[in-house]
Amino acid sequence: MSTTADDLREEVRRRYAESARAVSEGSGECGCGSGSCCADGESDAAMFGQALYDAEQRGELPEAAALASLGCGNPLMVADLNEGETVLDLGSGGGIDVILSAKRVGSTGLAYGLDMTDEMLALARQNQAETGITNAIFLKGMIDAVPLPAESVDVVISNCVINLSTDKRAGGGNRTRVTSLEG
């Protein structure tokens, strides 16, 4: 039996939905069943997710936003975000990078989070409400079909989700700057 793009997309959606449910239900795991967010061992746990954000950044967030971080890096360590800019986070998950970006672009800026998983979007919106951030918008969609007009954002960030896209060439668009942490 061959695996189609739709099958792969559904598997990714299912796994991220499981992760969001695990965080929302307070199991303390990211949904991978390992307790260390898909790491292969205790020493690998520091290479993924919330461990890649410094204590000050994590302190600005609800615990659920940090726990839901499944990325392989911290795009905000390398992203050049400025007051008043509009940023788009591809595969925004529980909202960690959107919330932190919204703070960096300030009240005159805007941070979009794009995710295909209803469970992650619900968690992200809950985390947004807990922080009181008003300049963030979470959208449902696919990273290879961004539901925003071309040239509507200044910076695109990604934390290891482009590699999960079934059509990597489709999502490019006309963007000013792209910061992507892809392994």
CATH label of the domain that carries residue 136:
3.40.50
For residue 37, name the pLDDT band (cuts at 50, 70, 90): very low
Q: What is the pLDDT of residues 108-141, one digit of tens each?
A: 999 999 999 999 999 999 999 999 999 999 999 9
d(CA 124, CA 143): 17
Angle at the Cα of 98 from the Cα atoms of 149 and 73, rounded to 5 degrees: 110
Quick: pLDDT tens for 143-183. 888 999 988 999 999 887 776 666 656 654 444 445 555 54
- The pLDDT assigned to 140 comes to 97
Q: In sequence order, what DSSP letters do the residues of 10-67 get, joined into one string?
A: HHHHHHHHHHHHHHHTT-SS-SSSSSSTT-SSGGGGGGSGGGGS-HHHHHTS-HHHHH
pLDDT of residue 82: 96
Say how far apart CA 165 and CA 116 lie, in whole Å. 11
Average pLDDT over residues 38-46: 43
What is the total count of domains within the chain? Answer: 1
**3-state SS, residue 145:** strand
Task: Tell me the mean pLDDT in the region 12-36.
Answer: 68
**What domain range includes position 22?**
5-181
Does residue 65 or residue 90 have the better pLDDT? Answer: 90
pTM of the complete model: 0.75
Q: How far apart are CA 159 and CA 180, in angstroms?
A: 6
Q: What percent of the chain has pLDDT over 90?
A: 37
Question: What phi and psi, each to the nearest 5 degrees, are found at residue 7?
Answer: -65, -45
